[in-house]
Structure 1
Amino acid sequence: MSKERDEQFDPDEELTTEYLLKLFGGAPFDDGLEESDFDEEELSEREKEERERLANTDWRAEADLVYEELMSRVGESQPEPRLAPTRRACELLGDIHEAWPMIHITGTNGKSSTARLTESLLRAHGLRTGLLTSPHLTRINERIGIDGKPITDERLVANWRDIEPFLDIVDKELEAAGEPRLTFFEALTVLAYACFTDAPVDVAVVEVGMGGEWDSTNVADGAVSVFTPISLDHQDRLGDTVAEIASTKAGIIKPSAAVVTAAQVPEVMDQLRRAAQLQEATLYAEPEKFAVTADHMAVGGRLVSVRGLAAQYDDLPVALAGEYQAHNAALAIAAVEAFFGGERPLDYDTVAAGTAGAVSPGRLDLIGIDPSVIIDAAHNPHGAAHLAQAMGETYNFDELIVVLGVLEGKAVDGIVKPLAQIADRLIITESDSPRAIAAWDLAEQVREIIGEQLAIDKRLEVIERSQDAFDVARREATDTAVVADREGRPYSVGVLITGSITLVGEAAAIALEDDWKPQVQAAEAELSDEEYESYVDDEGFPEDDE
C-alpha cells in the first residue's frame, strides 16, 4: 500500500463500497505499489521476500481453503433467483463480465460435454479459451478452465484474493437490504469471470448452473446461446412441465444473438422459438439447420459426420463414448460456426482436431481396469436412459455390476428402470453428500420399482459406505473373472458407478488415490512423443491391432 493510501486507511472504518473504492482508486487488480515508493535497495529486498514467499506457499492447501470459503455459503442446489448481486460484484471489479465474448450453454443433459467440445473447437482455432462447467468431480479447479486445462491453484488463489474484498462489499449491501449474502454459485461465477479476465481469454464457454434466466452466469451476454435437450429436472425450482422449464432456460437468449438448439420436443421448441423472436435473435435448430448425417463406433470413440450451418464435415473423430455424443458434437460445431458468423465453412482439419481433443470427465469415463470400472454422472431419467444405451453400444461385458447412489429430489423411478435392465448385480450405496438418499431407503424404493423377485435376481445388496461398495464391486468382478479364467472360459465383468455426481466424484478420487489404472498410466508415462504418434492413428485414436 502506498504511503498516501496508508495515511488514508482507518482500521475502524466500515468497509463500505465508497470507502474501498476511494482507498483503492476503483482499481481492484492494482496492488497500489509504485517503484517510487521505495528506494532501489528496499525494492530489491521486497522482491526477494515476495519471491521466497511465493516459492514457499502451499498453493494446493490455499486453493482448498478457497473451496472451504465457497462452501461456507448457501449451496448451489439452493440458488437465489436473482442477478443483481452478481452483476454488482462484477461491476465493482471493473465490469469483468463484459471483457470477453461468451458462448452460453443451458439444457438438461449434455451441457458439460457440449461445453467441452465447444471449448476444444475454439481452442483448435487458435483462440485462448475460458471454460466454466459444473459440478466438479474431485477439486474445484476442474470447474474453471483456461486454454483446456483446469486453472492452477496459484491463479485460483490469486484471483480469489482479488475479488474477496468486493464480495464482502456486496454481502454487506445484501445484509443491509435484508437479503441473503452471495451464494456458492454466485461467488463462483464472479471468481470464474475474474479468472477469465485475468488470463485474459479471447472467448469464454459458460455452462449455466441451473435454469438460465436468473442463473448468475446470465449477467454476461452470450453472443451464442446454446440449448442441449431439455427435459424434466429440478422441477422444484424450474417448473413442473418441460414448457415451464424451457421458458426459464430461454432467458439466456440476448438481443440479436445467435441461438443454436438441439432437437427438442414441440412444447420446448415453441418456447425457444418465441424467445428468439422477442429478442430478434437468429435461431438454428437441429435437424433443420444442422444434423448428424452418419455415426459409427470407432476405437477410442466415434466417427461422426455432421451437416453444419455452412459445410459438411465427414468422419470426424469424437473421443467420447455414447451415441448421444455425436449430437453433442454437431451442436458444438454449429455453435462455433454461429460464433464465427454462421456463413463461413470451418477448416476440416481444425474441426477434426477440436472434436478429437475434447474430454468429458465423469461421462462414461473408464477410471479402472482389471476390473473395468466406469463412472457416469447420470442423475435423471433422460441421462440414465442414454447411459444404459451407451453402455450396450460401448462395452460387451458378460456381467455388469451397477453401484447406485441417488440424491434427494431426483426421479428415482426414471433413473432405476433403465439401469436395472442392464445390471446383473445391484449394489445400493450413498455418497457423503448431506443430500444423498440413505442407502436403505433407496434400496426400498428400488425394490418397489423393479419388484421383489427381480431384486433377488439382481442380487440387490445394500452397502452404506460408498468406498466399501466400490471395494466389494471390484473384488467380485475380479473374483468372477478369475474363476472363469481357471475354467478356461473367457468372461468379463464390469463395474458401473452412477446415480449422482457426488458418488461419481468419490469414486474418481479413490480411483486416483488407489491407482485403479496402473497399467494404462504406466504405459502413457513410458511413451515418448514419437512412440505415442506411432501408437495412435491419424485421427488420434489408438491403432486397432486387428
Structure 2
Amino acid sequence: MDFPAAVNYILSFADYERMPRSAVVFDLRRTERLLERLGSPQNAAKSVHIAGTKGKGSTAAMIASILVQSGYRTGLYTSPHLLDIRERLQVDGELIYEKEFARLTEIIKPEVEAVNESGGLGELTTYEILTAIAFAYFRDKKVDYQVLEVGLGGRLDATNVVKPEVCVITSISYDHMDVLGDTLAKIAGEKAGIIKPGCIAVTSPQSPEAMAVLEKVCRQQAVKLVKVGRDVTWQRNSVSPGGQSFTVRGMKSEYHLSVPLAGEHQLENAATAVAVAEVLAERGDLITARTISRGIANVSWPGRLQILRRNPWVIVDGAHNGDSIRKLVQALRQHFAFEKAIVIFGASSDKNIAGMVAELSSFPDRVIVTRSHHPRAVSMERLVDEFSKKGVTPEVSENIAVALERALSVAGPGDLVCASGSLFLVAEVMQYMLKRT
C-alpha cells in the first residue's frame, strides 16, 4: 500500500469533518475495541489531553514545543489538517513520513475490518482510525509524551481512551451545538468528560457558567483544578506583526516570554501551556524556565493569524465562531497598521453564521463572500443575506481563487486582506497563494 492508497482507504469511512455531525453515532467502544486488537498503544506513553472550543490546537502545539525543548520525545496529535493529512501526526515537530503512514495503515487495515465485521457498534470512522494510527505511531517512535487534542467535545471523542497526567480545558464558547448541547453548561459538561481521577486539570479563563461545571466535575473526581487567570496570570509587553512579548506569573516563577503568534488569545493559550509545564515539573519532569521560554518562542501553528504576504498584508485565520471572530478583529487592529481592510469570508453551514457576521460586519471596508470546496460550506446567498441584515453589501466570488484575485486587484500596498471563517477556506487560500508565488 502506498501513501495515496492509504489516504484513500482512511477517507473511505464516515468522516464527520466532511458530513453533518448529527449523522455520526459517537461510541468510544469502537475505538477501544480497535486499540485492544493493536495491543493498547495508547498506554505506552504519558499523555496530556486537551479539550475546549477555541485555542486547544495552539495550546497543544505550545505544550508539545515545551516538552521537546525540555528533552522529551513528544508526539502531537491534532485535527483537522490544513494542507496535508500528515500534519495530524507529529513527533518532535516532524510530520510522519508518507511511507510510515502507509505502513501503519496497512497494519491496521485487517484490524479495522475485524472490528467492523464483529457488529453491534457500527463502523469505525475516519477520525477513529486516524486516532488509532496516531497511538500506534507514537508507540513505535517510543515517545515519552503524547499531547492529544480532542477532535470534538471530549467525553465521547476517540482520544478519550487515555489516563492523562494533565487534562486541559481551553476557552469554552458556543460551537457544535447540534452535538454538544445548546448551553455553555452542557458544552462544558462534554469537554469535562476528559477529566479523570489521578490527573491534574488546568483550565483557561471561563465564563461563570462553564467554570461551575468544571469545578463540580473536579470535586466529583477528586482532581485538583488549576485556573489560568487566577493561579497563573499574564501581561502583554509589546506587539508586532510577527508576534508579541509578554510576562507570565506562574505558580512557581515569573517568565519573560515571546511568541511568534498574534492575538491576545494566544497569550491566554501560552499562559495555559505554562501552567501545564509547571504542573508537569511539580510531578518530577525536568522542565525549566529556559525550556519553557524556548518552547513558546519556537512554536509553530499555521493558519492562525498567519501572514502569507506583505504590501499588502495577506493574512489567514481559522476563526469559525463569533467569539473567535471578535478576537481576530481585535488582533488585526492591535498588530497591523493598514489603510483599508478587505475581508474574504466563507464558513461552514453548521456554524453560527449570524454570530460571526455580527462580530465582523463593522470592521472591513470591503467584504467578499465565497465558499470553499468543502461539502459543508454555506451558500453565498446565505452569507449575502446575513451581511445585508447588518447594512453591508458584500461582493460575491464563485470560488476562493476568484475572491483572492479580486481582493488583490483592489488592495493598495498599505491595505490588508484577511481570509477567515473556516479552516477549510484558510487551507484553500494557503494552497492558492503557494501556487501564485
Q: How does 1:471-482 map to 2 (within 5 A)?
A: 471-477=405-411, 480-481=412-413
Distance in structure 1 (CA, Å) of the matches to 2:33 and 2:39: 10
Distance in structure 1 (CA, Å) of the matches to 2:311 and 2:5: 36
Q: How does 1:40-439 map to 2 (within 5 A)?
A: 62-77=2-17, 78=21, 79-173=24-118, 176-177=119-120, 179-298=121-240, 300-313=242-255, 315-341=256-282, 346-439=287-380
Residue of structure 2 aligned with 1:470, choices 386, 404, 410: 404
**Secondary structure in 1 aligned to 2:397?**
strand
Q: Deviations over 1:96-141 (max 9, x none)?
A: 0101111000111111111111110011100111001111111101
Matched to 1:513, the amino acid is K
Provide the alpha-carbon RMSD of the alignment: 1.6
Does the 8 A contact of 1:337 with 1:345 survive in 2? no
TM-score, L = length of structure 2: 0.95
Does the 8 A contact of 1:337 with 1:344 survive in 2? no
Matched to 1:67, the amino acid is V
Distance in structure 2 (CA, Å) of the matches to 1:187 and 1:194: 11
Matched to 2:375, the amino acid is P
Task: Report how many aligned residue pairs link the two structures.
Answer: 432
Q: Deviations over 1:317-359 (max 9, x none)?
A: 1111111111110100111221233688942221111110001
Q: Deviations over 1:124-179 (max 9, x none)?
A: 10011100111111110111111112212122112111211111111111xx32x4
Distance in structure 1 (CA, Å) of the matches to 2:293 and 2:191: 30
Task: Tell me the residue number matched to 1:524.
Answer: none
Change (3 A) 1:343 1:262: farther
**Larger Rg over CA atoms:** 1
Distance in structure 2 (CA, Å) of the matches to 1:80 and 1:339: 35
**Secondary structure in 1 aligned to 2:165?**
strand
Does the 8 A contact of 1:337 with 1:343 survive in 2? no
The Cα of 1:501 is off from its aligned counterpart by: 1.0
Distance in structure 2 (CA, Å) of the matches to 1:153 and 1:127: 24
Distance in structure 2 (CA, Å) of the matches to 1:245 and 1:282: 21
Does the 8 A contact of 1:316 with 1:352 survive in 2? yes
Distance in structure 2 (CA, Å) of the matches to 1:385 and 1:351: 29
Q: Deviations over 1:439-495 (max 9, x none)?
A: 1232122212x12xx32xxxx211121211111112222xx34xxxxxxxxxx1111
Q: Percent identity?
A: 36
Does the 8 A contact of 1:127 with 1:202 survive in 2? yes
Distance in structure 2 (CA, Å) of the matches to 1:83 and 1:295: 44
**Secondary structure in 1 aligned to 2:151?**
coil
Q: Deviations over 1:194-234 (max 9, x none)?
A: 11111121101110000000101001122100011101110
**Secondary structure in 2 aligned to 1:165?**
helix
The reply on whether 1:507 has 2:429 as its aligned counterpart is: yes
Moved over 6 A (4+): none
TM-score, L = length of structure 1: 0.77
Matched to 1:63, the amino acid is F
Distance in structure 2 (CA, Å) of the matches to 1:318 and 1:180: 44
Distance in structure 2 (CA, Å) of the matches to 1:377 and 1:256: 34
Q: Which has the higher contact order (CA 8 A, sep 6+)?
A: 2
